[in-house]
Structure 1
């Protein structure tokens, strides 16, 4: 398994420069166990896709990127994408109750509105939400093969909403010749059943198609901490992707996904209007797809991609069985990207895109829209051996706010003959107010939206060093980062008073800064240990902190394979010093999880896993429950088993 991949890599007679773990893969190793060892391999075998919008060797990437591989996902067999993301340095989540409840991410202190999420290149964020953001509560992991987390302001390549970074998710692709399939089923705590199945077919010339279906059904637990009734959740998700090779220099591709989810939640019931048990429930339906073509000229030196994508989401809330609100959002986007490689030391990336988003709800007077047209370019060069520089910029023309210019610069230096890598990046970003922030109206607050809001503008930088020891058996890394935002949009708690708008721009600069530390070690041929610590400090111009951003976050993972077919995984996480949006301190908490799996027959594994094994009582949002000690058992298969 993964620890053996690590051990075998260390035995290979490779050049010293290939032993250094890249920033991204080193930090990804902290996510958990087997992942760690699987990531500590030769750099030639590691490719980063999101950092430069084109495949790039990890050693040449100057941005902070973390990678979660399919092996990592299998090592823990958890249910949601967020379960893995929250183990990465600098990433944290808060949730309003059981599975399916509103879930919010923070990356280096910036919330979901500043993080662009792509699944097979599809932007799945909801334009009808309060801020344009992704509903992480519905992102299941059963069809996922790889996740890249690109940190820092990335608007120079990805446009608005990529202020804190980009999360790029790739679903499973058929790579084995002929027919193959994989899947699994699980049952456990809270009467939870989860299943996933993927079937694929690939031909000798590279054409392939794969289709996945996955779902979860759980009774859940009370969303309100004072409640007693269970709040359940159901999710059924379909996805697929494929490529058809037209010639050695051209292909067409598609990706599609659809989800249908329903969740119960607790509200504020009369006469006291305190959070407690209610019969409220919500439904969410989302459909999205992307089609395009890739073709090359000049013997492959000039690579081109043209694609179009669309997405629609519908959400309904019900109270006592009656509709209490509906929301609809949609997006259509066209894109072109070209990469011209002059030689091994010089390449040029250029592209353009256009998108229109729309949104309306039961209180709006009609459908509101926004259009953005963007053009960008980036030069990548290696002036001396081991030093790779990139520099690029982007111009976005927003239908409501005009032009915004952003840039990104990176540098990576792998010291020849050593296991030392230095890297740094600097970039700017902007976030235009969402349609809801501009025009939203909810009856009780007719002036919720503020059409006079100004876009937020940001600048970030980070710098880090990774160092290997003992021929790569020990890897250490440290990164310092800062993210400053002007014109931050915040909720005004005077909302509802005459003349008071609910949303306003905050004067001055909002600061986020911190340090990420990481280490991974192969203790023995069958035992690997990974650790990561993140410190994040946030401050508004007023001196107040941003809510739900822990100052301290520590993760440690152990992987042990005592015998050939038995794999053990233990992950622990400690979170401390967090405040909520009401200014109240949230309790520190420590979570311990473990999994044991055994290969019953080739291709089939049985496992048992436990979460919150110490039955920690904690909250990530004031007044909302979190799961207690939970045990699950499952079976996975992958056939044919190579």
Structure 2
């Protein structure tokens, strides 16, 4: 979409508003990720989307990755329907430029070549909401928060203690059951969830063919997961509380061995290849305290995270048997000063240590390294009537390369007459070189951080009939890129800049009580500096939308949603097209009696063949049914 078309569309919207009676409802949802403290979406300079636990339940979301696909500015790829490695691309940037948090803790895996969080295994169980903040956030969160931040916030216990049991069955011998309990007893709130997921699965790999159909690979690849999470919080009085969160899961994911480009019928029929599996053991815990004084709030916390990944086969001498173990621990002290009128000052100091252990039975040798990072930031939020200004500055010190400074300036302005919110942001970001890029046999200990400049501006407009529209333009420029040099077989700083820019448009309307409509459009031009082509795995255009009907209130909820992925290539040289397809899902949720919920969800209802990564399978038409009862 050209700039002229976007400007014309924006002017048309504003003209319509100025000749209509604008509603006076703004999005007053409270979020914590955009400013590190509580703030309303309507007043934050950054663009923020929120996915609630109710939306996850009403849409019968099996894995969080399926919900993120509906957010403008995000695209995802997986190399397999169940348990396939899943990457999130925000605003046209590779997945390692998005920082993923769980309850504020960075859960990227330091043992990866470029650390990021794999969304393959994260289910909605125990999740209260997901906050997606787009645009450079290194001024608040440090390394890797170049494209934005995704913060998954777990549930707290509320109300009278309860017990809830859920059972789900579906296509491909899929079974899931979970039990949760939560509530408040005296001053203690508690929430506990235990979940088990098993599926016979489908082949992770498609046989390469020319008829664009679900031919599948040699055999089905099963997937199994056990998950536990809990949150406990004790409130001493209105000014002091202490809490802890724990999340852990263990997965076993059977894989196809051969790469798609070299797949043959025999390669996955051998006992060694059939037994090839990928296992993950993930654990994180956080202990926090919140103290409210007259003018200052103090929030110290400590955390520990461990991630183990295993490649295993029945043959212990097989060349691909190896494990990756990473540990991360540290703490944070966040303080907010609110004594000044219309001014809020927030500061934080945080410390993290990373330890990586990669062991294998073949050369090059294993990697065992430890590094640390200390960061501190200052944020000032100033309100001047309808104008809100956010300024952040952060200094990071890494044991591997020294210091790095980032900052961000943002503004939010409300035009009362038309209920129009204008937003603008400019920020710098960076990505620290990973342990693998520094210390593997291909590493280079002289690497410096990648650096970015990012800006965006847009508007949020309230229209009649409970309708809101947002339009955002963004641009990202990354220099000092870290890449692999095929002549020296070492990582190095590469010439050229990664540039992505585009538009995001989102519309949501609730014109009558029983009807909710949403739609969004994303245009992303992301240039690969090595080839000059559109960057691999980044779709040029994405359309998504949904229609929700509630004919008898919340007792019956039906949702039809769909998305169209435009031109997209799996490789930088544009040999393999993986875009140009539309997929639709349909869900019905019914509550026949109090405390009982029944839902049925049909995925890919038109059985459209498509691939997110070349040669790897996606779900054909499939059906899943769920029953939940709350005691």
TM-score (norm. length: structure 2): 0.89
Q: Secondary structure at the match of 1:228?
A: coil
Name the residue aligned to 1:415. 415
Name the residue aligned to 1:110. 93
Displacement, 1:195? 2.2
Paired residues for 1:389-538 under 5 Å: 389-440=389-440, 447-470=441-464, 472-492=465-485, 494=486, 500-538=488-526
Cα distance, 1:581–1:183 mapped onto 2, change above 3 Å: farther
Whole-Å Cα distance in 1 between the matches of residues 315 and 194 of structure 2?
29
Aligned partner (choices 588, 593, 601) of residue 601 of structure 1: 593
Name the residue aligned to 2:333. 336
Residue 548 (1) aligns with residue 537 (2): yes
Name the residue aligned to 1:539. 527
Paired residues for 1:614-625 under 5 Å: 614-625=606-617
Q: Which runs of 5+ in 2 are unaligned?
A: 1-20, 208-216
Q: Which moved more, 1:609-618 or 1:543-552?
A: 543-552
CA offsets 1:175-209 (integer angstroms, 9 cap, x no match): 11x3123342211011111222221131454x311
Whole-Å Cα distance in 1 between the matches of residues 236 and 107 of structure 2?
29
Whole-Å Cα distance in 1 between the matches of residues 565 and 624 of structure 2?
24
Aligned partner (choices 286, 308, 311) of residue 314 of structure 1: 308
Cα distance, 1:552–1:302 mapped onto 2, change above 3 Å: same
Residue 569 (1) aligns with residue 559 (2): yes
Displacement, 1:461? 0.9
Aligned partner (choices 287, 290, 295) of residue 291 of structure 1: 287
Q: CA RMSD in A?
A: 2.0
Whole-Å Cα distance in 2 between the matches of residues 247 and 631 of structure 1?
48
Displacement, 1:69? 1.0
CA offsets 1:422-473 (integer angstroms, 9 cap, x no match): 1111111110111112223xxxxxx433333321111111111111222x52
Cα distance, 1:16–1:208 mapped onto 2, change above 3 Å: farther
Name the residue aligned to 1:354. 351
Displacement, 1:328? 0.5
Aligned partner (choices 226, 239, 242) of residue 236 of structure 1: 226
Displacement, 1:419? 1.7
Displacement, 1:417? 4.0
CA offsets 1:352-384 (integer angstroms, 9 cap, x no match): 01101111211444521221111110111112x
Q: Which runs of 5+ in 1 are unaligned?
A: 1-14, 22-42, 441-446
Between 1 and 2, higher relative CO (CA 8 Å, sep ≥ 6) is seen in 1
Displacement, 1:517? 0.8
- Structure 1 segments, 4+ long, off by >6 Å, are 269-273
Cα distance, 1:160–1:269 mapped onto 2, change above 3 Å: closer
Aligned partner (choices 156, 169, 173) of residue 191 of structure 1: 173
Displacement, 1:476? 1.6
Paired residues for 1:166-185 under 5 Å: 166-176=149-159, 178-185=160-167
CA offsets 1:223-251 (integer angstroms, 9 cap, x no match): 11111200111111111111111232211
Whole-Å Cα distance in 2 between the matches of residues 344 and 591 of structure 1?
51
Whole-Å Cα distance in 1 between the matches of residues 249 and 522 of structure 2?
34
Whole-Å Cα distance in 2 between the matches of residues 259 and 159 of structure 1?
27
Aligned partner (choices 614, 635, 638) of residue 627 of structure 2: 635
Whole-Å Cα distance in 1 between the matches of residues 204 and 338 of structure 2?
53
Q: Which moved more, 1:147-156 or 1:311-320?
A: 311-320
Cα distance, 1:343–1:608 mapped onto 2, change above 3 Å: same
Aligned partner (choices 548, 555, 559) of residue 548 of structure 2: 559
Name the residue aligned to 1:213. 194
Paired residues for 1:31-42 under 5 Å: none
Q: Secondary structure at the match of 2:437?
A: helix
Displacement, 1:525? 2.5
Cα distance, 1:271–1:614 mapped onto 2, change above 3 Å: closer
Whole-Å Cα distance in 1 between the matches of residues 293 and 130 of structure 2?
30
Whole-Å Cα distance in 2 between the matches of residues 558 and 271 of structure 1?
39
Whole-Å Cα distance in 2 between the matches of residues 102 and 478 of structure 1?
31
Aligned partner (choices 203, 217, 225) of residue 222 of structure 1: 203
How many residue pairs were aligned?
585
8 Å CA contact 1:192–1:217 kept in 2: the answer is yes
Whole-Å Cα distance in 1 between the matches of residues 563 and 616 of structure 2?
20
Displacement, 1:638? 4.0
Name the residue aligned to 1:48. 31
Displacement, 1:491? 4.0
Cα distance, 1:72–1:285 mapped onto 2, change above 3 Å: same
Whole-Å Cα distance in 1 between the matches of residues 315 and 598 of structure 2?
41
Q: Secondary structure at the match of 2:590?
A: strand
Q: Which moved more, 1:262-271 or 1:340-349?
A: 262-271
CA offsets 1:108-157 (integer angstroms, 9 cap, x no match): 11222111111122222111112111121111111111000011111101
Displacement, 1:321? 4.3
Displacement, 1:98? 2.5
Name the residue aligned to 1:35. none
Name the residue aligned to 1:38. none
Q: Secondary structure at the match of 1:52?
A: coil
Displacement, 1:343? 4.1
Whole-Å Cα distance in 1 between the matches of residues 341 and 622 of structure 2?
52
Q: Which moved more, 1:252-261 or 1:337-346?
A: 337-346
Name the residue aligned to 1:253. 243
Q: Secondary structure at the match of 1:150?
A: strand
Whole-Å Cα distance in 1 between the matches of residues 563 and 136 of structure 2?
27
Name the residue aligned to 2:9. none
8 Å CA contact 2:24–2:462 kept in 1: the answer is no
Whole-Å Cα distance in 1 between the matches of residues 297 and 258 of structure 2?
55
8 Å CA contact 1:17–1:417 kept in 2: the answer is no
Cα distance, 1:61–1:105 mapped onto 2, change above 3 Å: same
TM-score (norm. length: structure 1): 0.88
Name the residue aligned to 2:6. none
Q: Secondary structure at the match of 2:222?
A: strand
Whole-Å Cα distance in 2 between the matches of residues 272 and 587 of structure 1?
22
